[in-house]
Structure 1
Amino acid sequence: MDKLTIETFVLGPDETNCYLLSVGRKAVVIDPGIAPDRLIERISEQGLQLQRVLITHFHLDHIGGVKELIAAHPAPVYGSSKDLFLKEISLEGGGIREFVEYLDFPLSPLEPGKTTVLGQPVIVLPTPGHTPGSLSYFFPAAGCVFVGDLIFMIGVGRTDLPRGSGPELIGSIRSRIFSLPDETRIYSGHGPMTTVTHEKANNPEFQRGV
């Protein structure tokens, strides 16, 4: 199996991590955030063929660049339809209503389960809590998982936005992320990469036992 290359782009005022994954000349983007110019340029410079865009959840800082990206590099966009309710809620309330026209891209609903991305096996994990439709993407052969705002290095995602749930978020981390191999690298929506082992041992939310 060809090696998966991962590049990180920190985009927008919230410094959101966007990930460019490639195998050979084929590429996938996870969470194209606001102002994706550098990402778009990189895809063009490398002569990559964008195969798809994967969304972890539908907060503005994670999807703000989707329309610009697919205008430059057309590709289908996949994510959970469970987060589409955010289109009906104002930005002040944690939704994206004021930006719906800007963010109105075609969505291919994605269900949890096994799939293949760039010739790599991928397990789409349902990880609600930050939002009801939050998804994580586990690449077992590459030993990494992309989790959006579920868990960070020594922290977890906020749950005070629409339909967020603290118990669900903690449950998702325990059952979906901490059940992965300990050496699995965790690529979060903000901040540095961490590992399952590191978070089990150091994340203050879990010091009473994993």
Structure 2
Amino acid sequence: MVKLTVETFILGPQETNCYLLSREGRAVVVDAGIEPKRLVERISALGLTLEAVYLTHFHMDHIGGVKELLEVHPAPVFASAGDEFLRELSFEAGGNREFAPFIDFPYTAIGPGKRTVLGQPMLVLDTPGHTPGSLSYFFPAAGCVFTGDLIFMIAVGRTDLPRGSSSDLLGSVRSRIFGLPGETRIYSGHGPMTTVCHEQANNPHFIFS
């Protein structure tokens, strides 16, 4: 079986991890942060056909480059409708309203369940907490999960932004992420890659609770 290739692009002033997944000339992107030029150019250089963009949540640093990406590589966008309210809130209130010209792109609402992506199974996991609509994307055959700002290496995402919930976030990690095989690689929205077993053993938000 041809393996899934995962490339990381650290984009924008908040150094957001955005991911290019490719296999046999086809690709999807997980999150597209601000200033996506390097991501756009990489897709072109490899001659990949972009089939979809999957968003983990609607914070600006994860969606600010979607429109620019789609101008060069048109593709459907998938995300949770649970974060739509962030497009209507002002920046001062923790939303994105003032950035409408950059985030005015259509998307298809998705929820938990199994899909086939790049010829491989992908499980969409409902992982609220950082935002109410946060999603994670698990590729069992490739042994990796893309979690956005849910969990990081020995840390978790902030929950002080609109409709964030610490109890929901911790519950999402325990029930969705820690239920995956221990060797599963966690590709977070910021910082280095980690694994499920590493976080179960070392993340202070869980080992002391």
Please report the TM-score for the alignment, with normalisation by the length of structure 1.
Answer: 0.98
Cα distance in 1, alignment partners of residues 92 and 176 from structure 2: 31
* Aligned 1:20-169 pairs, distance under 5 A: 20-169=20-169
Cα distance in 1, alignment partners of residues 66 and 177 from structure 2: 26
Cα distance in 2, alignment partners of residues 27 and 75 from structure 1: 10
Cα distance in 2, alignment partners of residues 6 and 15 from structure 1: 18
Match of 1:192 in 2: 192
Cα distance in 1, alignment partners of residues 87 and 123 from structure 2: 27
Does the alignment pair 1:14 with 2:14? yes
Q: Which runs of 5 or more residues in structure 1 are unaligned?
A: none
How far off is 1:100 after superposition? 1.6
Please report the TM-score for the alignment, with normalisation by the length of structure 2.
Answer: 0.99
Cα distance in 2, alignment partners of residues 16 and 92 from structure 1: 21
How far off is 1:111 after superposition? 1.4
How far off is 1:101 after superposition? 2.6
How far off is 1:11 after superposition? 0.0
How far off is 1:152 after superposition? 0.1
Cα distance in 2, alignment partners of residues 92 and 33 from structure 1: 20
How far off is 1:198 after superposition? 0.4
Percent identical across equivalent pairs? 70
Cα distance in 2, alignment partners of residues 175 and 28 from structure 1: 26
Cα distance in 1, alignment partners of residues 65 and 93 from structure 2: 21
Cα distance in 1, alignment partners of residues 73 and 50 from structure 2: 6
Aligned length: 209
Q: Secondary structure at the match of 2:53?
A: strand
Amino acid at match of 1:82: G
Cα distance in 2, alignment partners of residues 199 and 92 from structure 1: 33
Amino acid at match of 1:86: L
How far off is 1:208 after superposition? 2.7
Q: Secondary structure at the match of 2:57?
A: coil
Amino acid at match of 2:99: F
How far off is 1:66 after superposition? 0.2
Cα distance in 2, alignment partners of residues 92 and 179 from structure 1: 37
How far off is 1:114 after superposition? 0.5
Q: Which runs of 4+ in 1 moved over 3 A?
A: none
Q: Secondary structure at the match of 1:86?
A: helix
Q: Secondary structure at the match of 1:28?
A: strand
Amino acid at match of 1:65: G
Cα offsets for 1:33-78 (capped at 9, x unmatched): 0000000000000000000000000000000000000110000000
Amino acid at match of 1:2: V
Cα distance in 1, alignment partners of residues 28 and 166 from structure 2: 30
